[in-house]
Structure 1
Amino acid sequence: MNKKGVLLVNLGSPDSTSIRDVKKYLGEFLMDERVIDMPYLKRLFLVKGIILNVRPKKTSAAYQKIWWKEGSPLIVLSQRFFDKLKRKVDIPMALGMRYGSMSIEKALHHLKEEGVDEILLIPLYPHYAMSSFETVVVKTEELMKEKYPNKKLTVLPAFYNEKNYINAMSASIKDQLDGHNFDHILFSYHGIPERHIYKSDTTGNHCKLDGTCCEKKSKAHETCYRHQCFETTKEIAKNLQLEEGKYSNSFQSRLLRDPWLKPYTDFELKALAEKGVKKLAVITPSFVTDCLETLEEIAMEGKSEFLEEGGTEFKHIECMNDDDRWVDVVKHWILDWKK
C-alpha cells in the first residue's frame, strides 16, 4: 500500500522586514504569471523595472508595523496551526509556502524523506482564484512532475462553502463579536482583477460581472472566485442570523490600474461612514491566517480610514489562525481522505 502524507500550503512571507528581503519576496510573488498575468517581457519590465524600484520600501514599512518578535505573523500562526494539527493526525505532514524561503519544494522533499508515495495537497485558501489556489496547485504539480513523477497527488477542492468550515468560522466570528451590537458587518475579500474571473470561466461564456451570473447555477462556479466569496458570506450570514442590509461585501488589495472586483474596501469604508454607520466589524474570509492584508491593511489602515470619516468603533475580526475548531475541521478532512 502507498504511504500517505499531507502537504499544507499558505501564501508565504519575506524572511524579515528589511527592504532587501521584501524586494526578494515581492519579486518572486509578482513575477508569478498567475498573479500578474501578462506576457513575460512586459511582466519583467513592470515588476523589475518599475514596481521593485518603488514598492519594497513602502511594503517593508507596512511589515514593520505588524511584525512579531517570533517573525512574520503569517508564518508563526501557520506553524502554530500546523503543530496543533500534527499532534491530532498520525500521518506524515509538511508545511510549505507558495513564495519565500519556506518553499513547496522543501516541503515535498520532507515528505519524500518520510517515504510518502501519495500526497494530499491542501491549499490554505477557501476560494478558487488564479493568483492563490490555482498557482499553488500548478506549482506543486510542476515540482512533482520534475522531481517525483511516480508519486500520486490529490488536491483538496476550494472549501468556501464546506459545512464544517463554515460552522467553525461562524463560531469564531460569533465569539469575537461577543454579543456586541455593531451597526454593520463588512465582509472584505482579497481583490483580483476582473479579467481573472473571465479567464477562470470554464464555460467560456457564463461570467458577465453583471450582478446576475453569480446567482445562476453553472459549472463556472467551481472556479469563480466572485461567486464563491458571495456564497461564503451567505452561509456565514445565515449561521449568524444577520439581518439583510446589516452586512455587505467588498474587495481589498488592488494592484495597478486595471479594473478589479468591486466594491473596493477603502471606498466602502468611506461610504458606510457617510451613510451613518458608527460601529463597524470587518471580516476577512479570504484568509484562514492573519497576514499583512488583514493586520495592516484592515486592522490598522482600514480602521483609521473609517474613524476619520466619522465612525466611532471599528473591530477587525481575526482569522481562524490556530483556533481548535479550525484544526479539527482540517483533521477530519485528512482522516476522511486517509481511509
Structure 2
Amino acid sequence: MGKKGVLLVNLGTPDSPEVKDVRKYLDQFLMDERVIDINAFKRTLLVKSIIVPFRSPKTSKLYKEIWDENGSPLLYYSKIQAALVQEKLGDEYHVELAMRYQNPSIQSALDKMKAGLVESIKVIPLFPQYASASTGSVIQSVMEIVSKWTTIPSVSFVNSFHDNELMLEVFAENARKYQPETYDHVLFSFHGLPERQLLKCDHTGNYCLKKDNCCDTLNDTNKFCYSAQGHDTARLLAEKLNVSKENYTVCFQSRLGKEPWVQPYTTDVLKKLAAEGKKRLLVFSPAFVADCLETLYEITVEYHEEFKALGGEHVQLVESLNDHPKFIDALVELAVS
C-alpha cells in the first residue's frame, strides 16, 4: 500500500524582507479573490496601483525587524512543525509543508506527493478558526490543482480546529508562566476580516450582525463564522485560566482600508482600557499557530508602544504554539483522524 499524504499549509511569507520579495508576496496574497473579495477589475486596480506600491516599502521595514538568523519566524517554525509531525507519524506517512502564498508552494508540495504515489491526502490548513480568506483559500487552491490530475487520490480537509484541546492547553501553558492573575486585563486579539466576509458566511441572511452579540455563542447558524469560532476559542482559554468574562476582551487587529471590519478593533480596546486606568495587559493571538509579523511586531512592538503612550505600562504577548510538543501531538491527531 502507498503512503498516506499529510499536507500542512500556512499563509505564507516573503522569500526575504527586501522590497522586491515583499512586493511579490503582497501581490499574490492580495490578488486572491477570497482575500479581497470584490470585482476583479477593482481588485486589480486597488492592489497593483495603490496597495502594493505603497505598502511594500513599509512592510519590508517591518519584516526586517523580525527577520533573524533563521529567516522568517513563520517559515522557520512551520518547517519544524512539519519535520516533527513526519517524525511522529513515521514511514507510513508522507508529510509536506506548503505556504498558500510564495514558497514552498502548494503546487510544489502536491507534486512531491504525486511523485511519491500517495494513496490519500489529508490537508491541514494551519488556521485554527475557519475563514474563507485563509482556510477556504487553501481548500480551493488544493482542489483546483488536484482536479487536473488524471488519477485523483482520496483527499480530505480539516475545516477548523478552534476548540482542539491540545492546542488550547499549549496556549494556556504559555500564558501561565506570566501569571495571568497579575494582569489588569486579558486580550484575545484575532486577525481582522471585513464584515462583508462574515455576512457571506451567514447562509440564512438574517443572523450575522443582525442582533447584538451574535458571535458570543457558537451555534448551527454561525458554526462556520470566523468571529464566532474566535469567541469560542477565547471562552475556552479563559475557562482554562480561570479568567472571568469581565476580565477579558475579544478584539481584532490588522485592519486594512476604511470599510467596516470585524469589531471591536484592538486599537480601540487599548484606548478604552487605558482610559479605565488599566496598566498591564496580557495578549493572546489565537489565530496564529506560529509567531509572525502580526505577533512579534504588531502586538509586541506597536501595541505595546501605543498602550504606553495612552498611559499604560506593559503589553505582554503570549507566544504562539510554535514547536511545542503538545501542538505537534495535536497536528498528528488531526492527520490520523
When normalised by structure 2's length, the TM-score is 0.95
Partner residue, 2:322: 321
Partner residue, 1:49: 49
Partner residue, 1:303: 304
Whole-angstrom CA distance in 1 between matches of 2:78 and 2:291? 9
Counterpart of 1:327, as a letter, is I
Whole-angstrom CA distance in 2 between matches of 1:224 and 1:292? 24
Shift of 1:267: 1.5
Flag the 1:250–1:148 CA change in 2: closer, same or farther, 3 A.
Answer: farther
**Is 1:80 aligned to residue 74 of structure 2?**
no
| Contact 2:185/2:282 (<8 A) preserved | yes
Shift of 1:69: 1.5
Partner residue, 1:188: 189
Q: Mean alpha-carbon deviation: is it higher for 158-167 or for 252-261?
A: 158-167
Matched position secondary structure for 1:42: helix
Whole-angstrom CA distance in 1 between matches of 2:101 and 2:130? 18
Partner residue, 2:146: 144
Q: Deviations over 1:284-323 (max 9, x none)?
A: 0011111111111111101110111111122111101111
Pairing partner for 1:129 from 128, 131, 134: 131
Pairing partner for 2:157 from 155, 162, 172: 155
Partner residue, 1:7: 7
Q: Mean alpha-carbon deviation: is it higher for 183-192 or for 78-87?
A: 78-87
Flag the 1:209–1:89 CA change in 2: closer, same or farther, 3 A.
Answer: farther
| Contact 2:289/2:320 (<8 A) preserved | yes
Whole-angstrom CA distance in 1 between matches of 2:228 and 2:135? 15
Counterpart of 1:171, as a letter, is E
Partner residue, 2:214: 213
Partner residue, 2:228: 227
Counterpart of 1:99, as a letter, is Y
Q: Mean alpha-carbon deviation: is it higher for 6-15 or for 309-318?
A: 309-318
Aligned residues: 335
Counterpart of 1:72, as a letter, is S
Percentage identity across aligned positions?
39
Counterpart of 2:141, as a letter, is K
Q: Deviations over 1:54-86 (max 9, x none)?
A: 110000011011111121110011111222222
Matches within 5 A, 1:33-44: 33-44=33-44
Pairing partner for 1:173 from 168, 172, 175: 175
Flag the 1:7–1:157 CA change in 2: closer, same or farther, 3 A.
Answer: same
Matched position secondary structure for 2:49: helix
Partner residue, 2:245: 244
Whole-angstrom CA distance in 2 between matches of 1:59 and 1:179? 32
Matched position secondary structure for 1:223: coil
Matched position secondary structure for 1:221: coil
Whole-angstrom CA distance in 1 between matches of 2:164 and 2:203? 21
Shift of 1:49: 1.2
Q: Deviations over 1:68-126 (max 9, x none)?
A: 11211100111112222221111110000000121111111111122112100000000
Q: Mean alpha-carbon deviation: is it higher for 311-320 or for 165-174?
A: 165-174
Matched position secondary structure for 2:124: strand
| Contact 1:168/1:329 (<8 A) preserved | no
Counterpart of 1:113, as a letter, is A
Partner residue, 1:200: 201
When normalised by structure 1's length, the TM-score is 0.94
Shift of 1:11: 0.6
* Deviating 4+ runs (over 6 angstroms): none
Whole-angstrom CA distance in 2 between matches of 1:194 and 1:188? 16
Partner residue, 1:272: 273
Counterpart of 1:291, as a letter, is C
Whole-angstrom CA distance in 1 between matches of 2:49 and 2:286? 33
Partner residue, 2:107: 105
- Structure 1 residue ranges without an equivalent (≥5): none
Shift of 1:246: 1.2
Whole-angstrom CA distance in 2 between matches of 1:184 and 1:282? 9
- Structure 2 residue ranges without an equivalent (≥5): none
Whole-angstrom CA distance in 2 between matches of 1:283 and 1:183? 14
Flag the 1:210–1:149 CA change in 2: closer, same or farther, 3 A.
Answer: farther
Whole-angstrom CA distance in 1 between matches of 2:294 and 2:147? 33
**Is 1:289 aligned to residue 294 of structure 2?**
no
Matched position secondary structure for 2:99: strand
| Contact 1:169/1:326 (<8 A) preserved | no
Counterpart of 2:171, as a letter, is M
Shift of 1:51: 1.1
| Contact 1:184/1:277 (<8 A) preserved | yes
Matched position secondary structure for 1:258: coil
Partner residue, 2:29: 29
Counterpart of 1:152, as a letter, is S
